[in-house]
């Protein structure tokens, strides 16, 4: 079990893919498999783990489901020249059924609605692309993307005026984010649950950034790096908090702080954050 303030997952985001990564390896006496982790920069500039598996992290299926259940933007991609412009394919409400299929609400005059309606007994292949943007201002602000592919059919009578609901029967999904890239099968996607903090993450990160700058600054003492000029909370899930540090020379690096145990609700999160800041202040 990791103690608050465990910073075994640290990387410098200025290193290029293919170069030897700047890394820190840490052994916490009470950690379970979280030490000796090397992180490198993805082709989007994002730091993320590489080389050794991290024991306590959301699965690829859970991360994909979390993005589907979040408020991040989503575009429905259709094959062929009649697929429509991106602004015509932005989805509104979306949800996931008990069998893992997606239910999407789009304008009734959108290309996707038209294609699904004309298909009659056939299903239209489509891909839902989700883009996760950090809710606070940081370099490399896109935290990840996910793609859920399947076949579209209309669901009559389930949307308001001027709208239509479409069912995307999921075949497979994939995710490329701060943790890495992975493919997710239909069964794993259907069984996975979103992170319990997904509804609150945006508000919580913005609150941390605007009202708790002093406490965030204390985290600099846990990473043992010099020249840190900026500390920004980047991502939050039930396992821990990821922070992006900006150095005075313009370079950035990430550190992830594991909670002692996964949190299931806001009450448990408050306790975990209090312990983290107490460890940083001690």
Is residue 157 domain-shared with residue 269, that is, in the same domain?
no
Which residues of the chain register pLDDT less than 50? 1-8, 14-40, 50-53
Structural domain of residue 92, as residue ranges? 60-191
Last residue of a domain, one of 156, 191, 226: 191
Per the CB < 8 A criterion, the answer to whether 148 and 68 are in contact is yes
191, 224, 255 - which closes a domain: 191
In a domain, 235, yes or no: yes
Q: pLDDT tens-digit profile of 172-184?
A: 999 999 999 999 9
- Would 149 be classed as within a structural domain? yes
- Same domain flag for 221 and 182: no
Rounded to 5 degrees, φ, ψ at 177 are -145, -160
2 in a structural domain: no
In Å, how far from its chain's centre is CA 248? 27
Q: Establish if 239 belongs to a structural domain.
A: yes
Among 191, 224, 251, residue at a domain's last position: 191
129, two tokens? 């692309």
Q: How many domains does the chain have?
A: 2
What's the rounded Cα separation, in Å, for the pair 258 and 276?
Answer: 9
Q: Rounded to 10 degrees, what is the CA torsion of 50, 51, 55, 57?
A: 20
Q: Are residues 238 and 260 in the same domain?
A: yes
75 and 35 part of one domain: no
265 conformational bin, left if phi > 0, alpha if psi -120 to 50, beta if neither: beta
- pLDDT digit string, tens, across residues 36-52: 333 445 555 565 554 44
């Amino acid at each position: 079990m990791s103690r608050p303030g465990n910073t075994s997952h640290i990387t410098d985001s200025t290193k290029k893919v293919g170069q030897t990564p700047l890394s820190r390896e840490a052994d916490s006496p009470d950690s379970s498999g979280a030490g000796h982790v090397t992180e490198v920069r993805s082709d989007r500039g994002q730091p993320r783990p590489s080389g050794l598996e991290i024991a306590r992290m959301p699965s690829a299926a859970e991360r994909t489901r979390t993005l589907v259940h979040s408020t991040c933007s989503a575009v429905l991609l259709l094959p062929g020249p009649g697929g429509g412009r991106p602004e015509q394919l932005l989805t509104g409400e979306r949800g996931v059924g008990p069998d893992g299929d997606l239910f999407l609400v789009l304008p009734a005059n959108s290309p996707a609605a038209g294609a699904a309606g004309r298909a009659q007994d056939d299903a239209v292949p489509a891909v839902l692309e989700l883009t996760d943007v950090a809710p606070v201002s940081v370099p490399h602000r896109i935290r990840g993307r996910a793609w859920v592919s399947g076949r579209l059919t209309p669901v009559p009578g389930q949307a308001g005026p001027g709208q239509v609901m479409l069912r995307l029967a999921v075949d497979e999904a994939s995710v490329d984010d701060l943790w890495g890239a992975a493919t997710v099968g239909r069964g794993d996607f259907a069984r996975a649950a979103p992170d319990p903090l997904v509804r609150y993450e945006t508000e919580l990160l913005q609150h941390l950034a605007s009202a708790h700058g002093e406490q965030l600054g204390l985290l600099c003492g846990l990473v043992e790096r010099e020249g840190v000029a900026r500390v920004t909370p980047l991502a939050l899930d039930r396992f821990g908090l990821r922070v992006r540090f900006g150095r005075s020379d313009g370079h950035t690096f990430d550190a992830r702080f594991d909670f002692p145990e996964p949190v299931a609700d806001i009450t448990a999160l408050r306790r975990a954050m209090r312990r983290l800041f107490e460890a940083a202040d001690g």
